[in-house]
Structure 1
């Protein structure tokens, strides 16, 4: 809100999904509605995330763009040949918390290990649910088949032939894992890696993000009344409170302008961009770009 008061364009990026029924989600959704009422554009990392953000914030769908998280594919390459023709390793990289489904693993892992003797699990990540996973490993004597790595330095919706989805239910997850195990012998790791490079390359994600930023820069600036009209529909009482907060912010900004005018603020110097060979690429003036 303060950035918009200062005349800047604002692009918001949302990575998380929230519910609608519990008290915490209702509170967060109202805060999000207030925060995004005056945003210029928004970016979500998946179509599901976009739908969730639009419903929670009330943003027009045409203002929200889907750009997936990028993957540094140079760091994750398939091995030239399978380490074992018989053993199947299932890797889980996640924060071990309830909202990431760590509780489901406690029930799923013993059943999968019972059904498939050639399967073992590697679990990377840390969190409050790690204790439950370690207790499960001890209870079912799976120390040699479940490796707990703890926190690791590194770790969308994919096409149907690259992912098997399951309901958040242990039985359905066991069936989905069994299906994936049967599909595994027919998958070419190198072909999968090549597709991942195409779908989630940094260059493509950066290009698409730049397009959104350029669209935001081309959007016309709005006056105070136009901005107030976006906050007012946020609720019978909340909308009026949001408008009052925005008016106070607007007056505070002009008070700061009187106290320390723009002309007295030092301009950020130009940055000279070079490539790895030391060759000059372009002169980049931050002040010009922001305008």
Structure 2
């Protein structure tokens, strides 16, 4: 019997980021293992309707307007008809939501619970507890985890953070740690592409506050003034790009600081292989995919010592520093001196280390174990049991939302019965050519 999984998130291709990469690569490896996988996300410009990606991965770009930061407005009810139709048509058994920021994932998991499907949530980020956005996001997470069957975090510090934010202490056995991975074969070192005349410091990041762009703006000026043999190559875009452009223009560093803007993920490796040092200035990270990709390409990694980053790379592959300008500059100076003195690990050895530590085949195996554990948990829970679980989130008005969604689903069953919806046959073609999952 083919197990059918639906990945749901506001963040997917053509948008670029760690969540997008995680969903895509995990889906490819699950398909290789015989699972049927479909993806639901909102429309991106011309991407509306059904699209097929590599190995016939089916993606539903449903026509919902973006509200803020590539997320839909969390109405909880406006998407019910189309999400229900997709779940029934594709004969979905497991709904796998990604990212606490994704309103679409929260909605789909609620609908999946009420339809009697198994639900799993992967939390990719760390959050605080004090500011308004964190309070709202944490409440959404608390509600979602109260109803879902299992939660996956990408680091141990992420698990602790999620358990605390969601008030999940009594149910921590329902939380697993499965890290991200990287296609180390794609991110192969190319030392011949690196400049012999200067040391290139690479930054690949969304240019937003939490990625430490304010720190980066000060660091690149001081490093350029102190080390004339250095240059910065910055890939990424975001609301903080203006700050880097302003600093570059004011200091006259156009020839030393290059901003290449947003890249396709396939292009990131070419940028990394032009550099010698990778700089990560994030103020918060559950798991940083960028530093793994950089290490796979053989770059020296200088990073802030925050969140789950200390868990990611061995000590000999990373220079960990406190998230402030002086400490990060110290880290860069050590890396520059090591390069000039020939204190370097062979880039191909770095790649082999990453290949052993993080590969999608291993991640997929661990995810399959979670799927198997929720499938055998038993039959669907009746509505009164589900309401009791949501009651544990202490957001009692949300019970009205759950009841309303339940009634809408019952009404839709009368108007468009499940039996009247054409079902897609769950057929797995073992002869289909697969991509490399290592």
Shorter-chain TM-score range: 0.7 to 0.9
Gaps of 5+ in 1: 279-291
Q: Which runs of 4+ in 1 moved over 4 A?
A: none
Determine the structure 2 residue equivalent to 1:200. 358
CA separation of 1:107/1:169 partners in 2, compared to 1, >3 Å: closer, same or farther? same
Determine the structure 2 residue equivalent to 1:83. 194
The residue correspondences of 1:93-242 to structure 2 (distance < 5 A) are 93-154=204-265, 155=268, 156=287, 157-184=312-339, 185-220=343-378, 221-235=380-394, 238=395, 240-242=396-398
Is 1:8 matched with 2:117? yes
CA-CA distance at 1:162 after TM superposition: 1.6
Partner Cα distance (2:406, 2:433) in 1: 47
Asked whether the equivalents of residues 182 and 358 of structure 2 are also in contact (C-alpha less than 8 Å), the reply is yes
Q: Deviations over 1:243-280 (max 9, x none)?
A: 232233333333433444443333322324143569xx
The residue correspondences of 1:56-71 to structure 2 (distance < 5 A) are 56-59=165-168, 60-71=171-182
> Which of 144, 152, 164 is 1:43 aligned to?
152
Is 1:22 matched with 2:181? no
Gaps of 5+ in 2: 1-109, 269-286, 288-311
How many residues matched? 275
Partner Cα distance (2:428, 2:138) in 1: 42
CA-CA distance at 1:3 after TM superposition: 0.7
Structure with a larger share of its residues in strand: 2
Root-mean-square deviation (CA, aligned residues, Å) is 2.3
Partner Cα distance (2:193, 2:347) in 1: 9
TM-score by length of 1: 0.85
CA-CA distance at 1:92 after TM superposition: 0.3
CA-CA distance at 1:137 after TM superposition: 1.6
TM-score by length of 2: 0.58
Partner Cα distance (1:202, 1:243) in 2: 38
Structure exhibiting the larger radius of gyration computed from Cα positions = 1
Structure with a larger share of its residues in helix: 1
| SS of 1:231 mapped into structure 2 | helix
| SS of 1:126 mapped into structure 2 | coil
Determine the structure 1 residue equivalent to 2:421. 265
Determine the structure 1 residue equivalent to 2:304. none
Q: Deviations over 1:60-102 (max 9, x none)?
A: 3222222222322222211255735663221100111111111
| SS of 2:429 mapped into structure 1 | strand
Determine the structure 1 residue equivalent to 2:143. 34
Q: Deviations over 1:179-200 (max 9, x none)?
A: 3334443221111111112222
Partner Cα distance (1:87, 1:216) in 2: 53
Determine the structure 1 residue equivalent to 2:401. 245
CA-CA distance at 1:32 after TM superposition: 1.9
Partner Cα distance (2:218, 2:232) in 1: 13
**Greater Cα offset, 124-133 or 225-234:** 225-234
Partner Cα distance (1:61, 1:117) in 2: 52
| SS of 2:152 mapped into structure 1 | strand
Partner Cα distance (2:182, 2:165) in 1: 28
Partner Cα distance (2:195, 2:419) in 1: 68
Asked whether the equivalents of residues 146 and 392 of structure 2 are also in contact (C-alpha less than 8 Å), the reply is no
**Greater Cα offset, 179-188 or 122-131:** 179-188
Partner Cα distance (1:88, 1:162) in 2: 18
CA separation of 1:172/1:226 partners in 2, compared to 1, >3 Å: closer, same or farther? same
CA-CA distance at 1:107 after TM superposition: 0.6
Partner Cα distance (1:252, 1:84) in 2: 62
| SS of 1:273 mapped into structure 2 | coil
CA separation of 1:145/1:241 partners in 2, compared to 1, >3 Å: closer, same or farther? same
